[in-house]
């Protein structure tokens, strides 16, 4: 959803990776451009993101929701 929103806003150079727990990683080759993109699309940016932080090794999700398709097991099991 975030990637599509960025493209619809005209921001196609940012790659979005879901990290779980509502966290996404915004990847851009030139890190300084994120500030410019945020400034140029401030209303959309503020409606999409609650908070934006620079990523570090300590910033990880501790929970991730996964959906599985399981065939051959009865629903009551």
Cut 0.85: pTM above it: no
pLDDT one-digit tens code per residue, 21-64? 778 888 887 766 777 888 888 888 888 888 888 777 777 777 77
3-state secondary structure of 44: helix
Q: Domain spans of the chain?
A: 1-77
Positive or negative CA dihedral for 37, 15, 2, 24? negative
Beta bridge partners, 68, equal: none
pLDDT of residue 63: 73
Backbone φ and ψ for 44, nearest 5 degrees, come out as -65, -45
């Amino acid at each position: 959803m975030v990637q599509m929103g960025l493209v619809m806003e005209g921001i196609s150079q940012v790659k979005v990776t879901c990290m779980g727990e509502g966290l996404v990683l915004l990847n851009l080759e030139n890190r300084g451009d994120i500030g410019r993109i945020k400034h140029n699309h401030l209303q959309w940016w503020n409606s999409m993101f609650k908070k934006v932080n620079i990523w570090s090794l300590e910033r990880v999700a501790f929970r991730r929701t996964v959906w599985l398709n399981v065939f051959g097991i009865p629903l009551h099991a």
